[in-house]
Amino acid sequence: MRAMILAAGKGERMRPLTLVKPKPLLEVCGTTLLEHHIINLKESGFNDIIINISWLAQQIMQKIGDGSQYGVSVRYSYEGEEPLETGGGIVNALHLLNDKPFLVVNADIKTDFKFDDLTLPTQSLAHLVLVKNPKHHLEGDFSIESNTLLGHHKEKEKFTYSGIGIYHPDLFNNCKPEKFRLAPLLRKYMQTDQVSGQLYYGNWDDIGTIQRLSEINMNCKKK
């Protein structure tokens, strides 16, 4: 199975840091976010990795190269100067991901989740990893019932999408490589029970703001 790391965003909530450095190259515990994922993917048996890039793309390519220094193969999906969001970014890279299910992970999270624990159930077009709601996102994203995800259910507890999932290429049928978010597409297929999921209770952090980046790095120093 091939893996894709979403790394094209401008990281506007992380400015001024991301005015001169792409968010995936910010360091957490002494290692860039992007390298944390590459190392984790390698340890989980993923050797063929695609990274989508846009904002300050040259810096990412210079830092990571072809992946050989990490023992993996890295290829890039360039989106131009304007990022295509999560959905458009994946569609733009489909030609590099072949016709089989593939793993996708957001670059701006830090986790010890083992990617080889993931599989795509036969009836599903997507399988997402959910986590308990962090304090900055208490409303959550999706509910889960018997491993099936529900997009809209007022009576059930919601959990937060971790930024980790497996997708079948058929999920993106009729989609174009243009700017669009992934969540509305997922909600569409949740209505026909074609999106499954699982809960993860291990270490997971969303590095979405300068404050959260500072907090996690302070925690690293205390250990």
CATH number at residue 147: 3.90.550.10
- List the pLDDT tens digit at each of the 223 positions of the chain: 999 999 999 988 889 888 999 999 999 888 999 999 999 999 999 999 999 999 999 999 999 999 999 999 999 999 999 999 999 999 999 999 988 999 999 999 999 899 987 999 988 999 999 999 988 888 888 988 877 887 655 567 899 999 999 999 999 998 999 999 999 999 999 999 999 999 999 999 898 788 888 888 777 766 5
Q: Are strands 204-206 and 109-111 parallel, antiparallel or unpaired?
A: antiparallel
Task: Enter the pTM of the model.
Answer: 0.92
Residue 120: which domain range? 3-222
CA distance linking residue 165 with residue 51, whole number of Å: 15
Short-list 43, 52, 104, CA closest to 74: 52
Number of domains within the chain: 1
CA distance linking residue 76 with residue 60, whole number of Å: 10
